Amino acid sequence: DAGVTQSPTHLIKTRGQQVTLRCSPKSGHDTVSWYQQALGQGPQFIFQYYEEEERQRGNFPDRFSGHQFPNYSSELNVNALLLGDSALYLCASSLSYGAGNTEAFFGQGTRLTVV
Amino acid sequence: GEDVEQSLFLSVREGDSSVINCTYTDSSSTYLYWYKQEPGAGLQLLTYIFSNMDMKQDQRLTVLLNKKDKHLSLRIADTQTGDSAIYFCAEIFEYGNKLVFGAGTILRVKS
């Protein structure tokens, strides 16, 4: 079992550009969540996808969007990048949205640097 | 509201016990989690506790929950240098799987 895989591992972009980050969930998991972790802080929830729809959203602007594919993999898109978007972006997969507890497994993250 | 607070730093000697503390504000939390993050890595789930439990033990890890005071702690017995990392407390709510994290506690283990 490969666990949660994210790509790329590192990325450098220029202000104003757009970026797409990718996540493949753990085998058997159907729910994918995205988190932003700024340096020295805890992860902040961006949004969650289940059955190819956004189910919950955190306090992030519309520049942050996502998608989930039929195979449960997911993409996070960020438009009009700002310097403040520099962070570690973490993907977490879990089973059965709305089931209460579920163990969320995290990928290694994508380190995005905006210059 | 959603808010999780942790102490920022803890230093212990190898072989001693470590206790990392966390407070949360939302009494509707159903599960509380402890995650470990090593430098440059993602988050590793260590353990979790259901909100109707007081204690959970898993090998060297003991989780204590005081629901009245909204206080959660993680005790690591016989702390090793490999335990040096950042530890995050997180809570989840009844509906949906959104995790709310604290800012993390840096644990340094001195040999």
Task: Tell me: pLDDT of B1 over 60.
Answer: no
Distance from CA of A49 to the nearest CA of B (A): 10
User: Do B87 and B72 contact (CB within 8 A), yes or no?
Assistant: no
* B99:A45 CB<8 A: yes
Average pLDDT estimate for A2-15: 95
> Mean of the per-residue pLDDT values for chain B?
91
Whether pLDDT at A7 is above 60: yes
Question: Which residues lie closer than 8 Å to B82 by C-beta, 6 or more apart?
Answer: none
Mean pLDDT of chain A: 93
pLDDT value of residue B87: 98
Q: Measure the CA–CA gap between B109 and B101, rounded to whole angstroms.
A: 23
Instruction: Summarize the confidence of residues B33-58 as an average pLDDT.
Output: 92
| Contact list, A92 vs chain B (CB under 8 Å) | 43, 99
Residue B34 confidence (pLDDT) above 70: yes
CB pair distance less than 8 Å for A101 and B96: no
**Residues of chain B contacting residue A4, judged by C-beta atoms under 8 Å apart:** 42
Q: Which residues from B are below 8 Å from A when comparing CB atoms? A: 4, 30-31, 35, 41-45, 48, 50, 88, 90, 92, 94-104
CA distances from A54 to A3, A37, A76, B70 (A): 22, 20, 11, 31
| Inter-chain residue contact B30 with A42, CB threshold 8 Å | no
Q: Is the pLDDT of residue B27 over 80?
A: no
> CB distance A97–B96 less than 8 Å?
yes
